[in-house]
Homo-oligomer: A and B are copies of this chain.
Amino acid sequence: MEKPSIKDVAEKAGVSIATVSNVVNKKGRVSEKMIDRVQSIISEMGYSPNISARGLKQQQSYLIGVIVPFQQQDGNLQDNPFYWNLVSGIELGARNEKFHVILSGINEENADALDFVKDRHLDGLVIVGTYEDSPITQKINQLNIPCVYIDSYLKDKNCYEVYLDDEKGAYEGTKYLLNHGHQNIAVISGELEGGVTTARLRGHIDALNKNGLLFSEENHIVAPVSIEGGLHTANQILALKDISAIFCFSDVTAFGVMKGLHDLGVNIPEDLSIMGFDDLYFSKYLSPPLTTISQDIILKGKTATELLIGQIDHKVNIERKNTIPIKIMERNSIKPFNDKLI
């Protein structure tokens, strides 16, 4: 039994397809009687509109695209559990508004894969973790459709963005370390090309300066944002003299650092204190449980979708830049230094 079309419904109800369409979309003027009659036939036949046809006519799809970085390493995808929650949040937000989500992994090289956005008439895009002038950003600008960027720190004041309060997070994290007597802090960050790292570094330096201290590049290690990345810094960290604490700008890196240090016989937090950033699922189960800056990833995703759908529906007064608050998750990877207690 084929799925009935609007024509089938119209015939059975003895009315025109225009009327059925009006009933379905609650548009135009249709009498109560007619609405009831058509409505009951619709549910009897199990009719629902063909979205391809509607999309063709209306040039809209009620579909939003989610573009996530999609890095391949030796033929395998890079595993970043962070994104799963984000996408879940986006999906949740979309579903509440009768939109659906098309997922598209993409990388810097094949920005052409974005052509599907036009072909499918996507209504909007959520883009995760790109940066100013990246090939992806450029391609997306040409598309000229509603967009919301997550964690991208673009300079364009008009584009919609949602990001964590990275600067404040790093500021508070650093302050927390300072309050626990740590004056000499190593920083492990990702590459500076992304705005996220820059913002976190700014917050860190600011906190240092406000407390009469100077940031020293010598204590700054740049490493890939991954467990391996952290792991490989262990020796460099030990070579740093006088540091009493490490501020890892991501939990995934902190995981690696802790593992590397542990294998070298360093005790945490007795020998060295560690602060993380992100509060991933496993962070509270590390040994010791990692003190870190937490963010509500689901909220981040949901907020992005709301902003996007707001744009699509031409709502006014939507904030262009949205910040998700941070919170320090105090656990056991930091111990007071030099008897200088809180």
A residues near B (Cβ < 8 Å) are 3, 48-53, 55-56, 61, 63, 66, 70, 76-77, 79-81, 83-85, 87-89, 91-92, 95, 100-105, 113, 115-116, 118-121, 227, 231, 255-256, 259, 262-263, 281-282, 285-287, 298
Contact = CB atoms under 8 A, between A and B. Distances in A.
B298 A76 contact: yes
A293 B51 CA distance: 44
B83 A100 contact: no
B50 A121 contact: yes
Contact of A281 (B70, B81, B87, B95): B81
Contacts of A91: 103-105
A88 B105 contact: yes
Given A52-B52, A285-B256, A85 B77 contact: yes
A259 B283 CA distance: 12
Contacts of A116: 51, 100
Contacts of A286: 259
Contacts of A77: 85, 88-89, 92, 298
19 contacts: A48-B119, A50-B56, A50-B121, A51-B61, A52-B52, A52-B121, A66-B103, A77-B85, A77-B298, A79-B81, A95-B113, A100-B102, A100-B103, A101-B103, A102-B102, A102-B103, A231-B285, A259-B286, A282-B282
Contacts of A50: 56, 119, 121
A70 B51 contact: no
A73 to B, nearest CB: 12
Contact of A53 (B56, B92, B282): B56
A287 B287 contact: yes
A179 to B, nearest CB: 27
A77 B287 CA distance: 24
Query: Which 3 residue pairs across A and B have the least CB separation, nearest first?
Result: A81-B81, A84-B84, A52-B55
A50 B63 CA distance: 14
B227 A285 contact: yes
Contacts of A81: 79, 81, 84, 281
B87 A80 contact: no
A118 B48 contact: yes
Contacts of A89: 77
Contacts of A118: 3, 48
Given A56-B53, A83-B84, A84-B83, A115 B48 contact: yes
Contacts of A87: 84, 103
Nearest to A61: B52
Given A91-B105, A263-B287, 17 more contacts: A49-B119, A50-B121, A52-B55, A52-B56, A52-B121, A53-B56, A63-B102, A77-B298, A81-B81, A87-B103, A100-B104, A101-B102, A102-B102, A102-B103, A227-B285, A259-B286, A262-B287
A2 to B, nearest CB: 9
A80 B286 CA distance: 17
Contacts of A119: 48-51
B103 A281 contact: no
A285 B48 contact: no
Contacts of A88: 70, 77, 105
